[in-house]
Amino acid sequence: MLHIGCHLSSTKGFAAMGRQALELGADTFQFFTRNPRGSRAKDIDPADAAALRELLTTHRFAPLVAHAPYTYNPASKDENIRQYTKEAMAEELRFLEALPGSLYNFHPGCHVGQGMETGIVLIADLLNAIVLPDQSTTVLLETMAGKGTEIGGKFEEIRAIIDLVRPEIRHKIGVCLDTCHVFDGGYDIVNDLDGVLSFVQKGGTLLTTWAHLSFATRLDDIQNHRFKYLYHPLTEALTDEKPIFEDRLYQGQALSVAVNLPNDIKQTKRSKKSCARG
């Protein structure tokens, strides 16, 4: 079954996001765990969390996705940055136990000159330190474009991280397929979507839990109208009688999709700068 949602602001609380999603006709949504530029996470209001849980159950929502701030870099060569990232992500996983069964999505990070292999090991080390076998939240590694020293621009890099995760927590690790990132990274999902998705599943390469339909996140994409060529094939795939994403990405199980139109250019630029510093 395919679930469709979008990104919502948590400014007015959990229950408010749920009500807004209902108004939009969504049955899932994504929100930031804290300010995307990084700051102290807001304390949870137990009553507010309970109200959202009731709404989700009543209206049969799919799992929600909490997105980590862009400033985290578990692959940093700076030990202080890695420690901050570890502590913040561990805090957010504890926070999400108030919304059982949620998904927690993060950008793998940048190796900033240490080399891809070193960066992959550092990311796996972080996951091995903070993920618990009995937690209710599944942690998602987001596919990236592979710009600069970004890790996750190739599906094999995501697979390599997962392979280093302890077997007893591997069932708590998933993948977020960001369409703009993979397109920008060289995977031709416009003209050969079937081929790319077949490659993803070949040999059990990845088990995709969440697809992020991000049609343009860079200013030059919008100025050159590049996003139009990505937008139409993917929206057609979602409404086609042949459920491309459902059948191929998640092996017949439920797949959630967040739709993100090009409205956050400034934040994306901040993300790339913070990764370059880390």
| 253-272 pLDDT, tens digit each | 444 555 544 433 333 344 44
* CA–CA dist 116, 110 (Å, integer): 9
**CATH number for the segment(s) 2-277:** 3.20.20.150
Of 87-101, 127-141, 220-234, give the lowest mean pLDDT range.
220-234
Q: What b/e string do you get for 243-264 counting C-beta neighbours within 10 Å, with b at 16 or more?
A: bbbbebbbeeeebbbbbbebeb
Contact at 8 Å (CB) between 249 and 81?
A: no
Q: Return the closest-CA partner of residue 76 out of 117, 39, 123, 34.
A: 123
Class of residue 234 by CB neighbours under 10 A (exposed 0-12, middle 13-18, buried 19+) = buried
Residue in the block written with tokens 């009731």: 54
Question: Per the structure block, which two tokens stand in for 269?
Answer: 């630029």
**Given the DSSP bridges, would you call strands 138-142 and 28-32 parallel, antiparallel or unpaired?**
unpaired
Residue 181 has pLDDT above 60, yes or no: yes
Copy the structure tokens of residue 171.
């069932």
